Amino acid sequence: GAVLLALNPFQNVRGLYGESAMKSHWQRAEQGQSSPPHVYGIADAAFRSMRRQLETNRSATVPSTISAHQSILVSGESGAGKTVTTKFVMKYLAALSQRATQQKHIAPEQRAYFKATKGAPPPSPSNMDDANLNSLTLLSGTSSIEGQVLQSNPILESFGNARTVRNDNSSRFGKFIEIQFSEQGQLVGASIETYLLEKVRLVHQSVGERNYHIFYELLGGGMDSRQLSHYFIAKTAHPEDFKLTASGTYDRRDGVTDRETYKALRHACAAMKFSNQELHSIFCVTAALLHASNLTLMEDAHNDESCCLDMTNVHLTPVCHLLGVAPEDLERALCQQTIIIRADESVTRTLSLEKAIKGLEALLKAIYGALFEYLVHRINDSVAYRDDKEGADTPPVASVRVLDIFGFESFYVNSFEQLCINYCNETLQQQFN
C-alpha cells in the first residue's frame, strides 16, 4: 500500500487540514486527479478501495474470497504526531460516511467512488458538495454515530494522554480502531482496543513531564467548590499538594488549558450518554488515587520486618470513603501477605516497609488500569453496531482499521515497560512491512 511520510510542524498550519482541505481531496479523487501527499489522501484511498472491493464482490458471479477490509498503520517515535494524525483519519472517514449516506440511492455506476476508478468525466459542481461541506460541522455532535465515534477521542486523551518531554498531548498507550461500514459506505459502528497503558507514569514522571491529564483537569478543570467537596478536594487544591501530580510541571506548553480539555471531556461523555452516577463513580476513583498517593506507611516500632498504615493521615478517610473500603482492610491488604498452601490452609505474614510501599504503588497502577479498561469498554458499548439500536441501518460488512502504535522511545535507562513497548512496536512494524 501507499506510504506517507509526515512531519510534525509543532504549530498550526492554516489550510493544511479542515473542511475545505477535505473537500479538495475528495473532489480530486472523484475527478481522477492526483493530490499532493496528505493523510486525507491515505484515508480516501482506503475508503474507496473498500467500496470498490465491496462492489466487485457484490457483482461477482462466483463468491469472492478477497476481503474488503483496509488497514492504516500510524507509526513513529514519541512526538511525531501519531495521535493527531489518527484523529484526522477518523474525521475524514466520518465525512466520507456522511457523503455516502446522501449517495446511497444513486446507481452504482454514478457513485463518486466508482467514478474515481473508472475514469468517468469529472462530475459537474452540485449543491451536494456544498451541503456535504456544511454538514461536516455536525461531525462533533452527539446525534450521529459519526459524531459519537469522534467523541471517543477526548475521553481517551484525558485518561490516556500526558505531557512528556517531547509532546504535550502524548498518547501513553497503543490503540487499534476498527471503523465499520455498511454496504452503502455508511459508518455504522466502531470498536476500540488498547494495549500497553503506561501505568508506571502513575507513580513516576521524568523531569518536565506530567501525570495523566485527568488529574489536572479534576483539580483545575472547572468544578466548583461544592462539586469538589464530593471528592474531598478543596477549591484551593493544587497539583503540588498530591504526590501523584507533584512533579514540578503543572501546565502544557501548547497553550491548551486543563479547563478546556475538561469541558471537552464532559461534552464527550454526554455524547456517549454517560449517566451522572457513572461520571461520579469515575471521578471518585480518580480522586481516590490522588488521595491514596499521599498515604503514609510506618515501620512497626516493635518489629523492623513489619509496618502499619498511618491512621492519622488526613487522606485516609477520603480514600476509604471514595473506594468503599474500611481502613483496617486497606492496612491489611498493604501490610500483610497471605500465601495459600492448600485449598483449606493459608499462611499470613507481615511485609517490610519497603515492600508495603511497592504494594501501594502497585495498587495505584492496578486501579487506574482497571478504570481505563472500563472506559474503553464503556465507549465500545456506545459506538458498537447493534441491530436493536433505534434507527440502525444495514449491518457492517467491511471496515477500515487504524492502528495507532505506542511511540518509539529510548532513554539512558529503559524500564521493562519501555522494553515491552519497543518490542511490540518492532513486531507490529515487521507484520505490516
Q: Which residues are catalytic?
A: 78-79, 83, 167, 170-171, 407, 409
The span from the CA of 214 to the CA of 286, in Å, is 8
Would you state the cell numbers that stand for residue 351, as one nine-digit string? 511485609
Cα(10)–Cα(397) distance, rounded to whole angstroms? 38
Cβ density class 390-422: b for 16+ within 10 Å, e for less: eeebeebbbbbbbbbbbbbbeeeeeeebbeebb
Cβ-proximal residues to 236 (8 Å cutoff; 6+ apart), any chain: none
Q: What are the DSSP calls for 346-411, one per residue?
A: EEEEE--HHHHHHHHHHHHHHHHHHHHHHHHHHHHHHHS--TTSTT--SPP-EEEEEEEPPPB---
Residue labelled with grid coordinates 512494524:
429
Count CB-CB contacts under 10 A for residue 193: 13
Alpha-carbon distance of 219 to 205, in angstroms, equals 18
Positive or negative: CA dihedral 21, 86, 203, 164: negative
Asked whether 325 and 291 are in contact (CB, 8 A), the reply is no
Q: Residue 77 has what DSSP assignment?
A: B
How far, in Å, are 27, 43, 80, 130, 295 from residue 125 at the CA level? 10, 23, 37, 9, 66
Q: Which residues pair with 298 in a beta bridge?
A: 308
- Cell 456544511 sits on residue: 134
Residues 69 and 50 sit within 8 Å (Cβ to Cβ): yes
CA–CA gap between residue 378 and residue 65 (Å, rounded): 34
Beta bridge partners of 190: 179
Helix (H) or strand (E) holding 39: helix 39-59
